[in-house]
Amino acid sequence: MRVVDSHLHLWDPTVLHYPWLAGALDARYATAELLAAPIADAAEQIAVFVQAAAVEEQALDEVRWVDSIAPATGVFGIVADARLHRPQGLGDHLDALAEFDRVVGVRHLLQGEPDGFARTDVFIAGARELADRGLTFDACVRAHQIPDVIALADAVPGLPIVLDHLGKPALGTAAESLRPAADWARDLRLLAEHPNVHVKLSGLPAEADGVIDAARMVPFLDAAAEVFGEDRLMWGSDWPVSSVDTGDAAGDRYVSGGRDAWFRTARDWAAARGLDTDRVFWSNALAFYRIH
């Protein structure tokens, strides 16, 4: 089976500065660590690196570093950091990114921005510049911010947008799991009405404290498949973020094999639902990110 990991992170705190790192994530996750976390059943596996929130002034340094280790890590595409609300510097930044053939899109991390941020005129202008340059946009938001992504998709229909992590729905706890919230399911359906939007089957383990429980996650995967269909789903590991057990009594810990476990959970679900696994795990991501 061929696999594109559409949402992979890499970092090395001795190379770049990541202010948000803490606990088990405050360590190097680069070439050696990724090679020790393969997808076991994949006959071929490649990846799309998604920016890992290094400090803003190191955004280009992050791309340069990932590009340098791309052959060793199987990274075929890079989703770079870009601040779309700063028009005075955005064009120059995108020009610099264009020097790297592997850069296929950008992410302005929205989950920490105020509600409505992606609806502002200046942000929409930046998004239109992405579309004009043939780049994609990764939308990483929390569930209550999905309407902002809907508004963005309305405003810039020519911009390919992918919703990271299914919009981070609330899954509850291991002791008390939650069913998909009505608001989240409604907003996901409204978002799926926009043909320029895809969704990543990623991040659910992180929303479940790093513990993969198929029974808890399947209803959310089902909801995404129902409204987006198999042509607009893509799988991502969210490694190493989704491979950290934050519910461990002794403190968070990295779970060896977590990446492969999430792949097998999603693969078994897709097969059980009769979905075209080659599309979900391979060709959809390649087409969206225009990787040839």
As a whole number of angstroms, the distance between CA 250 and CA 248 comes to 5
Query: Parallel, antiparallel, or unpaired for β 253-254 and 244-245?
Result: antiparallel
Q: How confident is the model at residue 231 (pLDDT cuts 50, 70, 90)?
A: very high
Q: Which domain holds residue 212?
A: 2-289
**260 phi, psi to nearest 5 deg:** -65, -35
Q: Is the pLDDT of residue 67 over 70?
A: yes
- Please give the single-letter amino acid code of residue 190: L
- The pLDDT mean for the chain works out to 96
Q: Is the pLDDT of residue 87 over 90?
A: no
Closest CA to 235 of 43, 44, 5, 41: 5
As a whole number of angstroms, the distance between CA 202 and CA 8 comes to 10
Token pair 């570093």 in the structure block, residue: 65
- Please give the single-letter amino acid code of residue 42: A
As a whole number of angstroms, the distance between CA 124 and CA 49 comes to 24
What are the CA-CA distances from residue 274 to residues 33, 43, 57, 216 (Å)? 33, 21, 46, 20
Report the CATH number at residue 275. 3.20.20.140
Q: Is the pLDDT of residue 122 over 90?
A: yes
Burial class (CB in 10 A: 0-12, 13-18, 19+), 121: exposed
Q: Is the pLDDT of residue 247 over 80?
A: no
Q: How confident is the model at residue 145 (pLDDT cuts 50, 70, 90)?
A: very high
Number of domains in the chain: 1
- DSSP-based three-state secondary structure for 256: coil
pLDDT, one tens digit per residue, over 178-222 is 999 999 999 999 999 999 999 999 999 999 988 899 999 999 999
Residue 210, pLDDT score: 84
pLDDT, one tens digit per residue, over 1-26 is 999 999 999 999 999 999 999 999 99
